Amino acid sequence: MNERGTSKAAGSQEPIMIALAGQPNVGKSTVLNMLTGLRQHVGNWPGKTIEKKTGIYHHNGTSIQIVDLPGTYSLTANSLEERIARDFIIKEKPDVVVAIADASALERNLYLIAELLSLPAPVVLGLNMMDVAEQQGMHIEPHVLEAALGLPVVPMVASKNQGVHELMDAVMRMARNPASYNPNRPAIEKDQQALVDSIQALIANEVESPYSEAWASTKLLEGDQEITAIVSDCLPPEKWEQLHEILMSHEDAGLTIASSRYQWIGRMVRAAVIRPGVGQVTFTDRADQVVTHPFWGLLILLGMLGSVFWLTFTIGQPLQEVLDTFLVQAGAQWVRSSLSGAPDWLSGLLADGIIGGAGMVATFLPILAIFFAALSFLEDIGYMARAAFIVDRLMHLMGLHGKSFLPLFLGFGCNVPAVMGARIIDSPRARLLTILVAPLVPCAGRMAVLAVLAPIFFGEYATLVSWALVGLNLSIIVLVGVFLHKVVLRSERGAFIMELPLYHMPNFRTIGLSIWQNLVAFLEKAGTIIILVSVVIWALSTFPHGNIETSYLAQLGRLLVPAGRLMGLGWKTMVALLTSFIAKENTIATLGVLYGAGKIHGDLSVIMGTVLAPAAALSFLAMQMLFIPCVATVAIIRQETASWRWTAFSVGLLLVISFAAGITIYQIAALVGWGM
């Protein structure tokens, strides 16, 4: 810290780096958005699937790099987020840590500050949501709190851009003169101090830097898993035995340390909070009487989801069609006509391979934009936590958190936002589990295929068959969820403790940014994979003779005939399934081409209806509903899990499930006498 102090003397224009810390729901991202807007870089923390946002802000000629730490309630390594946050402060040594606190829940928020003060970086406190505190009848004196804590305290209303500039002024002053930082750190009680001292003596000179021994000793007493693991690695066995004994006989030390922190907090806020504002019945209290009610809350949730789908189908789908007609088809047409002299393969590659792929990426955008708008709107106003609360009981079974419900439900529209939407889930395991079951949710593309083919095969029973197949998908989701939870991931279902934040007006800047960042992420990563795969599939279905019936894809389909025979399916239907990898809707078009029908309706129905026996048709539809995710979903799974292994696992899992279901259904149906 001292070297930092000298290197960044007053008046120098040297860039500085700050970390933005705070508990969840305190408006931390609003502060970041106010400061950096679109100049944000969204990535992942190294080796983790947790989002890392950084941004550059220029303050009076100085460039400030802002690193947004994950929102955490404390800094004990119970979760990946907490570990990331504290490791960043300890190892990357930001010039200043900016802690954002919710003024209306000051005591709880200061708990994180109490922990931050024991780390070696100067802290500046942004006291956000001052307006909310006032509305609740509280009155807080920032200056008194500043004097008590011994660090700069800046009152703010970040959503109205009040105090953000002043906060950065305070940050600059601190960065230029870190020697002035002398906070009032939470003291440990006397009997606890002796305990900490005895531990510190044991680990002295044994613990690897960058952790300070005093800090590590406290964390050991708090039962911190990461520090305990590190110390047990570093310590010679006999000392570890001694230490272990001390820790075992003081199992409740963590509670005592926490209590002493709250006592310290009590002393800090006693003078600063002039009116505590008790007993006020707020809007949130009144709204929650209905919104979190087991029955009415469920109705509201269904209404919300219904509206999201209504929006998608009234705005998103027409837009998607317009894009498809005027961008993709027109583009392909234009390429074909302007390349009329060129070889067939070239115009085919450009029109079908590249523009086809790029067009598909583009046509995803309206639907994704609507989904992300809805997701971040519900998150921003504070509703998401309530939705999770309402459905938690249902999701319990699969080892999933209530928050998994929303992304999965979105999957009925399209699996791509379902997988991306899993970002809202805090626990990495639960997020992975959600991503793995998401492709089993029947998306609009598959439902469209079902809607066309079921009447062709089953006439008046089409609706019944369709419902049965959707039901099959949903039951398999539950089965696979339980299986993955219990056998593969062996995930402990995280304890259900969740803050229900105050409701507040939506911040359209935050929502807009969230849509933008998600769309850019989709275009950058998934987009390129989709175009590549589209070109490959085009090549497979065209070469060597420019005819799909003799193409490599068809040969691949013929290879699958032995497996297909178990389901009563020939190579044409297998190829149709393969092409659904590009987009689920392709199944119909491929069947149309292979069965020589010019139009989907009419001809196809006559031919198909006679080609497949009911047992085979049923197994084909089941396969279609359960087959490997489309390329866009696969690309997004790769993006979100940051792992090819889990992506391959997901594809393999669905492959196995779909074949198993297809074979089982055909064999049973044939047994019952629905076969030829």
Partner 1 sequence: MRRKKRHHDSIMPKKRYSWMRLGDLPSGRKGIVRRLRGGGALTSRLTAMGISLGAELVVVQNFGQGPIIIKVRNTRVALGRGEAAHIRVEAIDE
Name the residues that contact partner 1, by CB under 8 A. Answer: 73-74, 76, 78, 104-105, 107-108, 111-112, 136, 222-223, 225, 251, 254-255, 258-259, 262, 284-285, 288, 292, 294, 385, 389, 392-393, 495-501
Minimum CB distance to partner 1, residue 482 (Å): 18
Nearer to partner 1, 382 or 411 (CB): 382
Minimum CB distance to partner 1, residue 492 (Å): 9
**Any idea what the Cα angle at residue 598 is, between residues 592 and 600, rounded to 5°?**
50
Minimum CB distance to partner 1, residue 595 (Å): 53
Minimum CB distance to partner 1, residue 280 (Å): 10
Residue 194 CA to residue 179 CA, distance in Å, equals 30
Nearer to partner 1, 184 or 284 (CB): 284
Extract the tokens encoding 288: 């929650």
If you search the block for the tokens 């005591």, which residue do you land on? 107
Minimum CB distance to partner 1, residue 414 (Å): 30
Minimum CB distance to partner 1, residue 153 (Å): 19
Minimum CB distance to partner 1, residue 418 (Å): 24
Burial of 672 (0-12, 13-18, 19+ CB in 10 A): exposed
Nearer to partner 1, 385 or 425 (CB): 385
- Indicate the length of the chain as a whole number: 676
Nearer to partner 1, 365 or 498 (CB): 498
Nearer to partner 1, 255 or 672 (CB): 255
What would the DSSP string read from start to end of 314-354? Answer: IIIHHHHHHHIIIIIIHHHHHHHHHTTTS-HHHHHIIIIII
Minimum CB distance to partner 1, residue 285 (Å): 8
Residue 334 CA to residue 127 CA, distance in Å, equals 58
The 8-class DSSP code of residue 315 comes to I
Judge whether 534 and 582 are in contact, CB under 8 Å.
yes
Nearer to partner 1, 447 or 500 (CB): 500
Helix (H, G, I), strand (E, B) or coil at 441: coil
Alpha helix positions (H), 595-643:
603-611, 614-626, 631-641
Nearer to partner 1, 83 or 638 (CB): 83
Nearer to partner 1, 503 or 595 (CB): 503
Amino acid at 429: R
Judge whether 396 and 506 are in contact, CB under 8 Å.
no
Helix (H, G, I), strand (E, B) or coil at 625: helix
Nearer to partner 1, 157 or 583 (CB): 157
Extract the tokens encoding 423: 């970002």
Nearer to partner 1, 208 or 285 (CB): 285
Nearer to partner 1, 76 or 551 (CB): 76
Minimum CB distance to partner 1, residue 243 (Å): 16
Minimum CB distance to partner 1, residue 130 (Å): 14
Helix (H, G, I), strand (E, B) or coil at 127: strand
Residue 631 CA to residue 525 CA, distance in Å, equals 12
Minimum CB distance to partner 1, residue 19 (Å): 19
- The residues that bridge with 18 in the sheet, in sequence order, are 66, 96
Sheet order of strands, 96-102 included: 40-44, 51-59, 62-68, 16-22, 96-102, 123-128, 153-155
Residue 218 CA to residue 229 CA, distance in Å, equals 14
Judge whether 158 and 27 are in contact, CB under 8 Å.
yes
Nearer to partner 1, 390 or 588 (CB): 390
Per-residue CA distances from 177 to 59, 118, 253, 361 (Å) = 16, 19, 37, 51
Strand 16-22 versus strand 62-68 pairing type? parallel
Residue 661 CA to residue 653 CA, distance in Å, equals 12
Helix axes of 508-521 and 28-36: crossing angle, nearest 10 degrees: 80
Helix axes of 631-641 and 528-542: crossing angle, nearest 10 degrees: 140
Judge whether 127 and 154 are in contact, CB under 8 Å.
yes
Minimum CB distance to partner 1, residue 278 (Å): 9
If you search the block for the tokens 């230029």, which residue do you land on? 176
Which candidate, 306, 431, 550, places its Cα nearest to that of 49?
431
Phi, psi of 357 (to 5 degrees): -70, -50
The 8-class DSSP code of residue 186 comes to P
Minimum CB distance to partner 1, residue 405 (Å): 14
Nearer to partner 1, 189 or 288 (CB): 288
Nearer to partner 1, 219 or 431 (CB): 219
Minimum CB distance to partner 1, residue 265 (Å): 9
